[in-house]
Amino acid sequence: MNDQMAAALAAGERLFHTVEHGDLEDLREIFTDTAVVWHNTDEKLTDVETTISNLKKIRSSATVFQYTDIRREPTPNGFVQQHVLIVEMADGRRMRDLACCICRVEKGRIAHMDAYHDSAVVDAMAHKQPSARG
């Protein structure tokens, strides 16, 4: 493995460790200044500030936010990662997001991410479950 591939894998490790356990503000250093993230669920590009805001909302309302079954491989210009994201919400909902992220890395920082998620899980994380009426 060459230095570029090692740097790309290290960027991936740092990214997902920070998203799961760290200070989300650190994402500004992990991503390049002009980085964008694309999601298959809405087919839109978001900047790093929006990404941080969205992740804060999800993490703050989740009692469990954990990546499992991580498979990360270098590519010619970055890395690809498959994982399962386990999210449990305070209201008891438990979700499993089988996801894939394809990242381009420049000088050890992520410049672009294409994130593929299960749209049903993304919708469930974004919306509170209706309360039961009795």
| Residues 32-48, mean pLDDT to the nearest whole number | 96
Instruction: Please give the pLDDT value at position 119.
Output: 74
Instruction: Please give the pLDDT value at position 129.
Output: 47
Q: From 131, 130, 105, 113, select the one nearest 54 (Cα to Cα).
A: 113
pLDDT reading at 133 higher than 70: no
Q: State pLDDT tens for residues 56-112.
A: 998 998 999 999 999 999 999 999 999 999 999 888 999 999 999 999 999 999 999
Instruction: Please give the pLDDT value at position 132.
Output: 41
| pLDDT grade for 126, boundaries at 50, 70 and 90 | low
pLDDT reading at 6 higher than 70: yes
Q: Describe the strand order of the beta sheet including 78-89 as a list of residue ranges.
A: 44-47, 31-39, 109-116, 94-106, 78-89, 62-75
